Structure 1
Amino acid sequence: MMVRDYSRCRLRPDETRGGIHPYPELLYVLTGKVQITWMGVSYTAGPRALLLLPSDTPHQVIALSKEADIWYAELDLEGDELFPGMDHNITWNELQCAPESRPVLDPVFEMTLELVTEAICSEKISVSEYAKRLCLLDIQKLLLLIRAYLERDSAALSFDRNGGGDTTVALMRFMESRYSQPITLKTLADFVHLNPSYLIRDFKKHTGSTPIQYLQMLRMNAATSFLAATDMSINHVAEQCGYPSIHYFSQSFKKKFGVSPSDWRKKTALAARTKG
């Protein structure tokens, strides 16, 4: 696999970008709002939407806001089958263009996406062969993470997309995409238009836990990933995981793991060094 072409572009409402080429493409929205017409369907995409455009499929991109910044990367797969199939492309793009249902992947995905963005926008890959190879490895990692997510959840996503009315799946998707934001039982009840008491019973029937317990699990999983893989301050980790205060975060973390976030980070780092 190789990066055939790439660029950061600023779009305005009076110009149209896009076309057709025999290479698959990644398109990422940095700022503003754009309309992407692909496979006869128009999608509205905002910041942090990453679109997958297979080879030989016409597509057009225009800015809906006064200005919009995007980057794209065309890939020459050279026989590599990393790029997802058409059905998965459609599913992924639909999710990316619906912020309320956009999946929350492992923090590694977000960090890798940031690395690719930085490499393309700074044009490091045009001046350094090492930077180009590292960027290509990061793109391959993104595609692998996307495929792993879609192939693991394809049945659930298809069921949800076809309007099966699965309230539990809808709530799980909602919390997975907004775990870093303030969420209460009322927030969830308003989202699915259900009585809070019924909502709790129905969710627990299907998952074995209450909605708030599921949300807490998501936040704790995110917290341990941030603590293990980044040098974020404890306060920043708390903010990124949806906790209103570092005190409440530390209290919740210690209740779950028996140690404070800082002690957990130290023990994890020590274990990694010992293992290495």
Structure 2
Amino acid sequence: MKIQRAIVITLIVFLAAGLGAALFLPKEKRWNKEAEIKIGAGDDISGVLMDETVEALKDYKVSRTHQSSSFQDCCSNTAQWAMNAKEINVGFYCTHIARHTVMQNQDVEIYGPVIMNGETIVYKDHWENVENLAVTQGREKSKDLAQETYPQIQGFNEITQKGILYALEDEQVDAAILDITKAAKVPDYRNMPLSDTDYISYVLVVDKEFEKTEAFRDFIDSYNRAVSRLSNSDYLAWTMGVKEEWLENKNIKFLTLEGTGVD
């Protein structure tokens, strides 16, 4: 009888230990290789951040849209449609369009800011003569910042992303507000900061259901590693194909994001 009781007690102890281990010991990470991360970013500095983020997402099927006609510019109608139509489940948007997107679609939300000070004003000759600026269509925040910072500005010409550099080179405008990746294509031009203070250029918009997944948690981990690399000015200059000195007065900042806590 005592032997049977001892056996029962021993079994109970082992079962309790096994249950405790299952509940409290670290679990081996299980990758969901069937999950698909569908990312949208423009053909701009947010696209650079997206590409860096994707580098470490080897265990997922990843589709990215910045090289397609659907998302070359986050301010385009097709870029807004991409999130609403669930063509993407996470995207980098400028603040103005991000607000419009979440107002129109209750299934998505702004997860957090990702890039600060991502634009610069580019001009050819004398800054004191600059009055008319070209700006990419839909960049209302950029227009407001330029007007607040430089009272000399008299007006803006809204131009497509593809045509804005041509307008500047053809002297249709005195200067242009450019994403720094576009400004990097004309490094010999002079430039001025868009604002005297920090401002948010891009935020991350995410589908609420996708936000709950392990795939999104791993996306955030990879994103934060990308931020760490791009925050190194030498690495960023190499990525953009410019000299490190060219970045000195740009003050661009890549921001980390908090994880989701999804198990």
- For the aligned pair, the TM-score class normalised by the smaller chain equals under 0.3
TM-score where L is the length of structure 2: 0.23
More helix, by proportion: 1
Indicate the structure (1 or 2) with the bigger Cα radius of gyration: 2
